[in-house]
Protein backbone atom coordinates (compact mmCIF):
# COMPACT_ATOMS: atom_id res chain seq x y z
CA UNK A 1 0.00 0.00 0.00
CA UNK A 2 1.25 3.48 -0.90
CA UNK A 3 2.63 5.55 1.94
CA UNK A 4 0.41 8.59 1.40
CA UNK A 5 -0.83 10.08 4.67
CA UNK A 6 -4.53 10.96 4.43
CA UNK A 7 -4.97 14.38 6.04
CA UNK A 8 -8.39 14.66 7.70
CA UNK A 9 -9.69 18.23 7.87
CA UNK A 10 -12.09 19.08 10.69
CA UNK A 11 -13.51 21.98 12.63
CA UNK A 12 -12.00 22.23 16.09
CA UNK A 13 -15.21 21.80 18.06
CA UNK A 14 -15.41 18.73 20.29
CA UNK A 15 -18.10 17.08 18.15
CA UNK A 16 -16.28 17.74 14.88
CA UNK A 17 -13.06 16.28 16.34
CA UNK A 18 -14.98 13.23 17.56
CA UNK A 19 -16.27 12.69 14.03
CA UNK A 20 -12.82 13.11 12.50
CA UNK A 21 -11.30 10.69 15.02
CA UNK A 22 -14.00 8.12 14.25
CA UNK A 23 -13.08 8.21 10.55
CA UNK A 24 -9.37 8.20 11.44
CA UNK A 25 -9.78 5.03 13.50
CA UNK A 26 -11.71 3.27 10.73
CA UNK A 27 -9.04 4.19 8.16
CA UNK A 28 -6.21 3.19 10.52
CA UNK A 29 -7.92 -0.18 11.10
CA UNK A 30 -7.77 -0.72 7.33
CA UNK A 31 -4.03 0.01 7.37
CA UNK A 32 -4.03 3.61 6.13
CA UNK A 33 -1.88 6.36 7.62
CA UNK A 34 -3.77 9.47 8.69
CA UNK A 35 -3.34 12.88 10.28
CA UNK A 36 -6.01 15.20 11.71
CA UNK A 37 -5.82 18.88 10.72
CA UNK A 38 -8.13 21.27 12.66
CA UNK A 39 -9.46 24.29 10.74
CA UNK A 40 -11.50 27.10 12.35
CA UNK A 41 -14.84 27.85 10.70
CA UNK A 42 -16.67 31.15 10.21
CA UNK A 43 -19.74 29.54 11.73
CA UNK A 44 -17.90 29.09 15.01
CA UNK A 45 -16.54 32.64 14.95
CA UNK A 46 -19.79 34.47 14.15
CA UNK A 47 -21.88 33.46 17.14
CA UNK A 48 -24.01 36.58 17.29
CA UNK A 49 -26.14 35.91 14.21
CA UNK A 50 -28.60 33.07 13.57
CA UNK A 51 -27.19 30.66 11.00
CA UNK A 52 -29.84 31.34 8.39
CA UNK A 53 -29.07 35.07 8.51
CA UNK A 54 -25.47 34.57 7.46
CA UNK A 55 -26.70 34.26 3.87
CA UNK A 56 -24.76 31.09 3.23
CA UNK A 57 -25.76 27.47 3.27
CA UNK A 58 -22.99 25.22 4.48
CA UNK A 59 -21.28 27.79 6.71
CA UNK A 60 -19.56 24.98 8.61
CA UNK A 61 -18.37 23.22 5.46
CA UNK A 62 -17.05 26.17 3.46
CA UNK A 63 -13.78 26.63 5.36
CA UNK A 64 -12.93 22.94 4.97
CA UNK A 65 -13.88 22.97 1.28
CA UNK A 66 -11.41 25.81 0.72
CA UNK A 67 -8.69 23.97 2.70
CA UNK A 68 -9.28 20.86 0.54
CA UNK A 69 -9.25 22.76 -2.76
CA UNK A 70 -6.04 24.52 -1.62
CA UNK A 71 -4.43 21.13 -0.93
CA UNK A 72 -4.07 21.64 2.84
CA UNK A 73 -6.22 18.59 3.66
CA UNK A 74 -7.34 15.51 1.70
CA UNK A 75 -10.73 14.80 3.23
CA UNK A 76 -13.31 16.45 5.47
CA UNK A 77 -15.79 14.85 7.85
CA UNK A 78 -19.16 16.52 8.46
CA UNK A 79 -22.49 16.00 10.13
CA UNK A 80 -24.32 15.30 6.89
CA UNK A 81 -27.28 17.52 7.78
CA UNK A 82 -24.91 20.55 7.71
CA UNK A 83 -23.67 19.85 4.17
CA UNK A 84 -25.26 21.75 1.25
CA UNK A 85 -27.08 19.51 -1.24
CA UNK A 86 -24.77 20.77 -4.00
CA UNK A 87 -21.06 20.21 -3.33
CA UNK A 88 -18.39 22.58 -4.75
CA UNK A 89 -16.96 21.64 -8.14
CA UNK A 90 -14.14 19.11 -7.72
CA UNK A 91 -15.37 17.79 -4.35
CA UNK A 92 -17.34 14.54 -4.11
CA UNK A 93 -19.18 12.54 -1.47
CA UNK A 94 -16.81 9.65 -0.78
CA UNK A 95 -18.49 7.77 2.10
CA UNK A 96 -21.56 7.91 4.32
CA UNK A 97 -21.05 6.20 7.67
CA UNK A 98 -23.69 4.06 9.34
CA UNK A 99 -26.32 6.31 10.81
CA UNK A 100 -26.69 6.98 14.54
CA UNK A 101 -29.81 8.16 16.39
CA UNK A 102 -32.00 10.23 14.05
CA UNK A 103 -34.19 11.88 16.68
CA UNK A 104 -34.35 15.38 18.10
CA UNK A 105 -34.57 15.51 21.89
CA UNK A 106 -35.78 18.11 24.35
CA UNK A 107 -33.27 18.75 27.14
CA UNK A 108 -35.08 20.23 30.16
CA UNK A 109 -34.52 20.88 33.87
CA UNK A 110 -36.59 18.24 35.62
CA UNK A 111 -40.34 18.28 35.11
CA UNK A 112 -41.99 18.71 31.71
CA UNK A 113 -45.19 20.20 33.16
CA UNK A 114 -44.39 23.38 31.21
CA UNK A 115 -45.43 21.60 28.01
CA UNK A 116 -49.05 22.01 29.10
CA UNK A 117 -48.71 25.74 29.88
CA UNK A 118 -46.51 28.61 28.72
CA UNK A 119 -42.87 27.84 28.07
CA UNK A 120 -39.71 29.19 26.50
CA UNK A 121 -37.80 26.74 24.32
CA UNK A 122 -34.40 27.42 22.73
CA UNK A 123 -33.24 26.31 19.28
CA UNK A 124 -31.22 27.83 16.43
CA UNK A 125 -33.03 25.73 13.83
CA UNK A 126 -35.94 27.03 11.74
CA UNK A 127 -37.13 23.44 11.27
CA UNK A 128 -37.31 22.76 15.02
CA UNK A 129 -38.82 26.18 15.72
CA UNK A 130 -41.61 25.73 13.15
CA UNK A 131 -42.46 22.19 14.28
CA UNK A 132 -42.45 23.30 17.92
CA UNK A 133 -44.83 26.16 17.18
CA UNK A 134 -47.02 23.83 15.14
CA UNK A 135 -47.48 21.64 18.21
CA UNK A 136 -47.22 24.32 20.93
CA UNK A 137 -48.45 27.59 19.34
CA UNK A 138 -48.53 29.51 22.66
CA UNK A 139 -44.87 28.81 23.55
CA UNK A 140 -41.99 31.25 23.06
CA UNK A 141 -39.01 30.06 20.98
CA UNK A 142 -35.64 31.78 21.40
CA UNK A 143 -32.49 31.52 19.29
CA UNK A 144 -29.67 29.26 20.49
CA UNK A 145 -26.26 29.14 18.79
CA UNK A 146 -22.83 27.68 19.39
CA UNK A 147 -21.42 24.17 19.65
CA UNK A 148 -23.07 21.46 21.73
CA UNK A 149 -21.19 22.32 24.93
CA UNK A 150 -21.92 26.04 24.57
CA UNK A 151 -25.62 25.40 23.99
CA UNK A 152 -25.92 23.11 27.01
CA UNK A 153 -24.23 25.77 29.15
CA UNK A 154 -26.55 28.49 27.82
CA UNK A 155 -29.56 26.36 28.73
CA UNK A 156 -28.12 26.00 32.24
CA UNK A 157 -27.48 29.75 32.55
CA UNK A 158 -30.89 30.92 31.34
CA UNK A 159 -34.45 30.69 32.62
CA UNK A 160 -35.61 28.78 29.53
CA UNK A 161 -37.64 25.62 30.14
CA UNK A 162 -35.72 23.56 27.64
CA UNK A 163 -33.70 23.37 24.42
CA UNK A 164 -33.88 21.07 21.41
CA UNK A 165 -30.80 19.09 20.34
CA UNK A 166 -30.00 16.30 17.90
CA UNK A 167 -29.73 13.17 20.02
CA UNK A 168 -26.77 11.88 17.99
CA UNK A 169 -24.49 14.81 18.85
CA UNK A 170 -25.09 14.54 22.57
CA UNK A 171 -24.75 10.75 22.53
CA UNK A 172 -21.48 10.85 20.61
CA UNK A 173 -19.94 13.08 23.29
CA UNK A 174 -21.60 11.31 26.24
CA UNK A 175 -23.28 14.62 27.10
CA UNK A 176 -26.93 13.57 26.99
CA UNK A 177 -28.47 14.73 30.28
CA UNK A 178 -30.79 12.40 32.18
CA UNK A 179 -33.50 15.06 31.92
CA UNK A 180 -34.35 14.64 28.25
CA UNK A 181 -37.34 13.62 26.23
CA UNK A 182 -37.22 12.06 22.74
CA UNK A 183 -39.29 14.11 20.30
CA UNK A 184 -40.52 11.24 18.15
CA UNK A 185 -43.23 13.51 16.67
CA UNK A 186 -40.62 15.92 15.25
CA UNK A 187 -39.40 15.05 11.77
CA UNK A 188 -35.59 15.31 11.76
CA UNK A 189 -33.41 17.30 9.39
CA UNK A 190 -32.56 15.52 6.14
CA UNK A 191 -29.57 13.20 6.88
CA UNK A 192 -29.72 13.85 10.65
CA UNK A 193 -27.58 11.37 12.61
CA UNK A 194 -25.39 10.56 9.59
CA UNK A 195 -21.76 11.50 8.98
CA UNK A 196 -20.39 12.10 5.49
CA UNK A 197 -16.79 12.13 4.27
CA UNK A 198 -15.93 14.26 1.24
CA UNK A 199 -12.76 14.22 -0.85
CA UNK A 200 -11.35 15.61 -4.10
CA UNK A 201 -12.83 13.95 -7.19
CA UNK A 202 -9.37 13.34 -8.70
CA UNK A 203 -7.81 11.76 -5.58
CA UNK A 204 -8.13 8.07 -6.51
CA UNK A 205 -6.03 6.79 -3.58
CA UNK A 206 -8.20 8.50 -0.97
CA UNK A 207 -11.48 7.63 -2.72
CA UNK A 208 -10.46 3.94 -2.79
CA UNK A 209 -9.78 4.10 0.94
CA UNK A 210 -13.05 5.82 1.81
CA UNK A 211 -15.37 3.62 -0.24
CA UNK A 212 -14.60 0.86 2.27
CA UNK A 213 -16.26 2.96 5.03
CA UNK A 214 -19.51 3.49 3.11
CA UNK A 215 -22.76 2.13 4.59
CA UNK A 216 -25.08 1.54 1.62
CA UNK A 217 -28.39 1.63 3.53
CA UNK A 218 -27.53 4.97 5.13
CA UNK A 219 -26.26 6.29 1.79
CA UNK A 220 -29.58 5.48 0.07
CA UNK A 221 -31.80 6.88 2.85
CA UNK A 222 -29.84 10.13 3.17
CA UNK A 223 -29.79 10.49 -0.63
CA UNK A 224 -33.61 10.34 -0.66
CA UNK A 225 -33.91 12.91 2.16
CA UNK A 226 -31.41 15.30 0.59
CA UNK A 227 -33.05 14.97 -2.83
CA UNK A 228 -36.34 15.95 -1.16
CA UNK A 229 -34.62 19.01 0.39
CA UNK A 230 -32.89 19.99 -2.85
CA UNK A 231 -36.09 19.69 -4.91
CA UNK A 232 -37.99 21.89 -2.45
CA UNK A 233 -35.51 24.71 -2.16
CA UNK A 234 -31.88 23.90 -2.87
CA UNK A 235 -30.42 25.15 0.40
CA UNK A 236 -30.83 24.46 4.10
CA UNK A 237 -32.75 27.46 5.36
CA UNK A 238 -36.49 26.64 5.15
CA UNK A 239 -38.31 24.61 7.84
CA UNK A 240 -37.95 21.22 6.12
CA UNK A 241 -37.77 17.78 7.72
CA UNK A 242 -37.33 14.39 6.07
CA UNK A 243 -36.73 10.80 7.11
CA UNK A 244 -36.38 7.65 5.02
CA UNK A 245 -36.21 4.20 6.60
CA UNK A 246 -35.34 0.93 4.91
CA UNK A 247 -37.17 -2.24 5.98
CA UNK A 248 -35.12 -5.29 5.03
CA UNK A 249 -37.96 -7.73 5.78
CA UNK A 250 -39.94 -6.67 2.75
CA UNK A 251 -37.34 -4.56 0.90
CA UNK A 252 -39.32 -1.32 1.17
CA UNK A 253 -38.53 2.26 2.04
CA UNK A 254 -40.86 4.38 4.14
CA UNK A 255 -40.45 8.12 3.61
CA UNK A 256 -41.93 11.06 5.46
CA UNK A 257 -41.18 14.66 4.55
CA UNK A 258 -42.53 17.96 5.83
CA UNK A 259 -42.46 21.65 4.90
CA UNK A 260 -43.76 24.23 7.38
CA UNK A 261 -44.29 27.97 7.43
CA UNK A 262 -41.81 29.76 9.71
CA UNK A 263 -44.54 30.40 12.29
CA UNK A 264 -45.53 26.72 12.22
CA UNK A 265 -49.15 27.45 11.28
CA UNK A 266 -48.94 25.73 7.90
CA UNK A 267 -47.69 22.16 7.61
CA UNK A 268 -47.45 20.18 4.37
CA UNK A 269 -46.62 16.47 4.65
CA UNK A 270 -45.71 13.82 2.07
CA UNK A 271 -45.61 10.19 3.16
CA UNK A 272 -44.73 7.27 0.89
CA UNK A 273 -44.04 3.55 1.13
CA UNK A 274 -42.26 2.17 -1.93
CA UNK A 275 -40.31 -0.85 -3.10
CA UNK A 276 -36.52 -0.43 -2.78
CA UNK A 277 -36.28 -0.43 -6.60
CA UNK A 278 -37.98 3.01 -6.63
CA UNK A 279 -35.52 4.79 -4.29
CA UNK A 280 -33.73 6.98 -6.84
CA UNK A 281 -36.63 9.36 -7.49
CA UNK A 282 -38.49 8.97 -4.18
CA UNK A 283 -37.31 12.24 -2.64
CA UNK A 284 -38.01 14.12 -5.87
CA UNK A 285 -41.57 12.77 -6.21
CA UNK A 286 -42.38 13.46 -2.54
CA UNK A 287 -41.13 17.05 -2.90
CA UNK A 288 -43.11 17.57 -6.11
CA UNK A 289 -46.23 16.40 -4.30
CA UNK A 290 -45.70 19.04 -1.61
CA UNK A 291 -44.86 21.78 -4.15
CA UNK A 292 -48.06 21.01 -6.08
CA UNK A 293 -50.16 21.06 -2.88
CA UNK A 294 -49.28 24.61 -1.85
CA UNK A 295 -45.55 24.19 -1.25
CA UNK A 296 -44.46 26.45 -4.12
CA UNK A 297 -46.46 29.35 -2.69
CA UNK A 298 -45.21 28.62 0.84
CA UNK A 299 -41.54 28.45 -0.28
CA UNK A 300 -41.92 31.84 -2.00
CA UNK A 301 -43.36 33.33 1.22
CA UNK A 302 -40.52 31.84 3.31
CA UNK A 303 -37.87 33.32 1.00
CA UNK A 304 -39.46 36.78 1.31
CA UNK A 305 -39.60 36.48 5.12
CA UNK A 306 -35.97 35.42 5.41
CA UNK A 307 -34.82 38.40 3.32
CA UNK A 308 -36.37 40.88 5.78
* Residue 261 pLDDT: 96
Q: What is the arithmetic mean of pLDDT over 239-265?
A: 97
- 82 flagged as catalytic: yes
Lowest-confidence pick of 51-55, 64-68, 153-157, 287-291: 51-55
* Residue 58 pLDDT: 53
Whether residue 280 has pLDDT greater than 60: yes
Confidence of residue 52 (pLDDT cuts 50, 70, 90): very low
Cβ neighbors of 159 (< 8 A, separation 6 or more) are 120
What are the pLDDT digits (tens) for 62-81? Answer: 788 888 888 899 999 999 99
Lowest-confidence pick of 56-60, 82-86, 168-172, 213-217: 56-60
pTM of the full structure: 0.90
Confidence of residue 132 (pLDDT cuts 50, 70, 90): very high
What are the pLDDT digits (tens) for 191-200? Answer: 999 999 999 9
Question: E-strand spans in the chain?
Answer: 5-10, 33-38, 75-79, 91-96, 104-108, 120-122, 140-142, 162-166, 180-182, 195-200, 240-247, 252-260, 267-275
Whether residue 28 has pLDDT greater than 50: yes
End-to-end CA, the chain = 55
Cα(62)–Cα(56) distance, integer angstroms: 9
Cα(97)–Cα(103) distance, integer angstroms: 17
* Residue 42 pLDDT: 55
Cα(153)–Cα(121) distance, integer angstroms: 14
Q: What is the arithmetic mean of pLDDT over 178-185?
A: 96
Whether residue 54 has pLDDT greater than 50: no
Whether residue 272 has pLDDT greater than 80: yes
Cβ neighbors of 295 (< 8 A, separation 6 or more) are 232, 259, 268, 287
What are the pLDDT digits (tens) for 12-23? Answer: 888 889 999 999
Average predicted confidence (pLDDT) for the chain: 91
Backbone angles phi, psi at 5, to 5 degrees: -95, 125
Catalytic residue among 65, 74, 82, 104: 82
Q: Cα torsion at 122, 127, 129, 134 (round to 10°)?
A: -150
Amino acid sequence: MAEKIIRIGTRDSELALWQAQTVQKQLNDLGYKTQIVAVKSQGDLLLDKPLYELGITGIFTKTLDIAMINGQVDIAVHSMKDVPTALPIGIVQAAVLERANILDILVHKGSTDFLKTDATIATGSLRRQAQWWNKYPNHTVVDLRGNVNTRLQKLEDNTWNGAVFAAAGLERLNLKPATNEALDWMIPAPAQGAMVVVAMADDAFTLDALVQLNHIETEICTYIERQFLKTLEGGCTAPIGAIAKYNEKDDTIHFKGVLLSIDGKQKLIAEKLVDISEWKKLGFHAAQEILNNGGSKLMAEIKIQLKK
